Chains A and B, each alone.
Chain A
Amino acid sequence: MTTPPPDPDDMLMAAYAAGDGAAFEQLYERHQRALYRFVRRVLGASQADHADEVFQDTWLRVVHARARWQPQGATFRTWLFTLAHHRAIDVLRRGGREVPLDGDEPPPWEPAGAPWQRWPAPSQSLAGDELAFWRRAGERLLQCLDELPVAQRSAFLLHHDDGLALADVAQVLEVGFETAKTRLRYAMSKLRACMGAYLAPLCATPRPAQAAKEGEAPA
């Protein structure tokens, strides 16, 4: 049985706890963009002014906790996002935003058929009209995210934007796996509805080149 290689973040954090200031800089560089984006998006447009404050507090908590931190239970990245999520929730509550826990929502609306059949297929290389379309889609998505409850928004961002596995999402949100999965499902359903309603008129008919790809793309 081979032991898994140590996580680079864990090694850097251990080095920082031992007094290596450069290790912290590497940690910061590895995660700063994703964390900053996560903080801004969780806070939403109404609390965007607090993004810098939450971001800084999160890193300072890392600094203060360096001696106590142990690489067990969660990866550094999961722990980092947990700290940021806690801090963002504090700010949202302070700002008067309601931060409900799981409520009794009705089952999410599920669009019939493939919801994106009129959209261009996702691709790594975009140009021209497609690029302009996805930029508009991005703008709209941020507005749709703002309309989600914070718990669902966080679940979606952690999973889709930051790439955390559902188990890690559950850990960050401090809920059970199934609860995290439910939140994510609600979030995606609402976002699809919000996005589809806005973007559908932009692509009234599927493009021939995309129609061939649609069979490959996941629904």
Chain B
Amino acid sequence: MTSSDERDRWLEQALRHAPDADATPPAELRAAILSSARRRSPTASGRAAQWLASAFAWLSRPPVAAGFATLALSTVLGALWWRGSLDEGVDPRVAESTTASAPASAPAPDPAAATAPPQMRDASPPAAAQKARRALARPSPSDTPARAAEAERAEPPPAAPATADAPRSPAHDDELRASRPATAQALAGATTEQRIDTRADPVDAIASSLALRADALHWASGGRTHAHAAPQQAWFDALRQATAGRWQRTRTDDRDGARVQLFDGPRVRAEWLVQSQRVLWLDAESGTWQATLAPADAARLRAMADAW
């Protein structure tokens, strides 16, 4: 039915001249609707950006980063071996210790992390690295087994190869800080001992997230939440500086201290407990870590968080 007999030109004319005939939705309503539509339908470039962001987030996860670091180290060692730069008389126990899997008792987030090389506890500073190189080059029957045993006791880090668990002097740490470039740079660069010694700080992964996705992250401290801003970045930078090269796994149940949490949406991305002489990092995936702190650094971190 065409319904022409149901139309009334007079009523239509009156409708066209009604006061609301030219009514349009408010501009803010239009903006809200179009914004919602765009958010739920990302453009191709938006999808690519999202994909990249998620890829970075995945790569920055401690187990994945550890896996890549393992792969890179294995490649470097393999290349050196292939070129014959290492003596043929390498103690097989030492070689074994550098490629052994993490101890079964250590919680391994995923297979990649499980195959992370154990840490050579004396291998961080150049002097220790030279010692390790000497061990590789001229194996000592008395020294190497002990080193291998130590290596077996060492546990893998949450992110990339971790720090030694033996106490080190401040000068030692300064050397490490001065010589530690970014993870990728360290893996790509320099000499054999540097490749062995350089290890990514566990908080590097957090730093990457903050650099890439700060808008999606927020902090909680003292029962209050805060968007990521300059004070939070300053606190994180201070934490990073104070704990550089000191992270090591711990089994402590101690949960005292000033609690600082970093959230990625509703998920806790990282949680730290700043105590008087150390900071604990409770990582949902890889367990609990600690780094010793100078009392002044601990006090400063607590004060900075309290001031948010």
Distance between A50 CB and nearest chain B CB, rounded to angstroms: 13
B255 contacts partner chain A, Cβ-Cβ < 8 Å: no
A1-9, A24-32, A98-106: which lies at the interface? A24-32
B29–A52 CB distance below 8 A:
yes
Q: A66 to chain B: which residues have CB within 8 Å?
A: 40-41
Number of A-B contacts (CB under 8 A): 132
B9–A218 CB distance below 8 A:
yes
B170 contacts partner chain A, Cβ-Cβ < 8 Å: no
Distance between B3 CB and nearest chain A CB, rounded to angstroms: 4
B33 contacts partner chain A, Cβ-Cβ < 8 Å: yes
A24–B41 CB distance below 8 A:
yes
B25–A52 CB distance below 8 A:
yes
Q: A24 to chain B: which residues have CB within 8 Å?
A: 34, 37-38, 41
With contacts A19-B47, A40-B20 taken as known, whether A59 is within 8 angstroms of B14 at the C-beta atoms is: no
Interface residues of A in 163-183 (CB under 8 A from B): 165-167, 177, 181
B25–A32 CB distance below 8 A:
yes
Q: A184 to chain B: which residues have CB within 8 Å?
A: 6
B8–A165 CB distance below 8 A:
no
A166–B3 CB distance below 8 A:
yes
A68-76, A78-86, A89-97, A137-145: which lies at the interface? A137-145
> With the chains together, A166 CA to B47 CA distance in Å?
43
> With the chains together, A185 CA to B21 CA distance in Å?
23
B7–A19 CB distance below 8 A:
no
Q: B178 to chain A: which residues have CB within 8 Å?
A: none
A138–B17 CB distance below 8 A:
yes
Interface residues of B in 4-61 (CB under 8 A from A): 4, 6-21, 23-26, 29-30, 32-34, 36-38, 40-44, 47
B230 contacts partner chain A, Cβ-Cβ < 8 Å: no
B21–A32 CB distance below 8 A:
no
Number of interface residues of A (CB under 8 A): 52
B8–A138 CB distance below 8 A:
no
> With the chains together, A91 CA to B19 CA distance in Å?
23
With contacts A21-B41, A137-B17, A141-B15 taken as known, whether A37 is within 8 angstroms of B6 at the C-beta atoms is: no
Q: B33 to chain A: which residues have CB within 8 Å?
A: 28, 56, 59-60
B12–A41 CB distance below 8 A:
no
B13–A139 CB distance below 8 A:
no
A141–B36 CB distance below 8 A:
no
With contacts A33-B24, A218-B7 taken as known, whether A56 is within 8 angstroms of B13 at the C-beta atoms is: no
Q: A138 to chain B: which residues have CB within 8 Å?
A: 14-19, 21
A19–B18 CB distance below 8 A:
no
A135–B42 CB distance below 8 A:
no
Q: A64 to chain B: which residues have CB within 8 Å?
A: 40
A159–B7 CB distance below 8 A:
yes
Q: A192 to chain B: which residues have CB within 8 Å?
A: 8, 11
B190 contacts partner chain A, Cβ-Cβ < 8 Å: no
> With the chains together, A69 CA to B19 CA distance in Å?
35
With contacts A19-B43, A32-B30, A166-B6 taken as known, whether A142 is within 8 angstroms of B11 at the C-beta atoms is: no
B1 contacts partner chain A, Cβ-Cβ < 8 Å: yes
A37–B20 CB distance below 8 A:
yes
Distance between A166 CB and nearest chain B CB, rounded to angstroms: 4
Closest chain A residue, CB of each to CB of B22: A33
Distance between B40 CB and nearest chain A CB, rounded to angstroms: 6
Binary contact track A142-166/B, C-beta < 8 Å → 1, others 0: 1000000000000010011100011
Interface residues of A in 11-25 (CB under 8 A from B): 16, 19-21, 24-25
Q: B40 to chain A: which residues have CB within 8 Å?
A: 63-64, 66
With contacts A56-B33, A141-B15 taken as known, whether A122 is within 8 angstroms of B10 at the C-beta atoms is: yes
Q: B43 to chain A: which residues have CB within 8 Å?
A: 19-21
Q: Which of A19, A32, A55, A135 contacts B44 (CB 8 A)?
A: A19
Q: In the complex, which of the residues A116, A138, A165 has the most CB atoms of chain B within 10 Å of its own CB atom?
A: A138
A142–B20 CB distance below 8 A:
yes
If A21-B43, A32-B25 are given as contacts, then 15 extra A-B residue pairs at C-beta distance below 8 Å, sorted by A number, are A19-B43, A41-B20, A56-B33, A59-B36, A63-B37, A63-B41, A66-B41, A134-B14, A137-B14, A159-B3, A160-B8, A161-B12, A165-B2, A217-B9, A218-B9
Name B residues whose Cβ lies closer than 8 Å to a Cβ of A. Answer: 1-4, 6-21, 23-26, 29-30, 32-34, 36-38, 40-44, 47
- Interface pairs A-B: 4 shortest CB-CB: A138-B18, A122-B13, A138-B17, A137-B14
Name A residues whose Cβ lies closer than 8 Å to a Cβ of B. Answer: 16, 19-21, 24-25, 28, 32-33, 36-37, 40-41, 52, 55-56, 59-60, 63-64, 66, 115-116, 119, 122-123, 131, 134-135, 137-142, 156, 159-161, 165-167, 177, 181, 184-185, 188, 191-192, 195, 217-218
Question: Could you pull out 12 A-B pairs where Cβ atoms are within 8 angstroms?
Answer: A16-B41, A19-B42, A25-B34, A63-B36, A63-B41, A134-B17, A137-B13, A161-B12, A166-B6, A167-B1, A181-B6, A184-B6
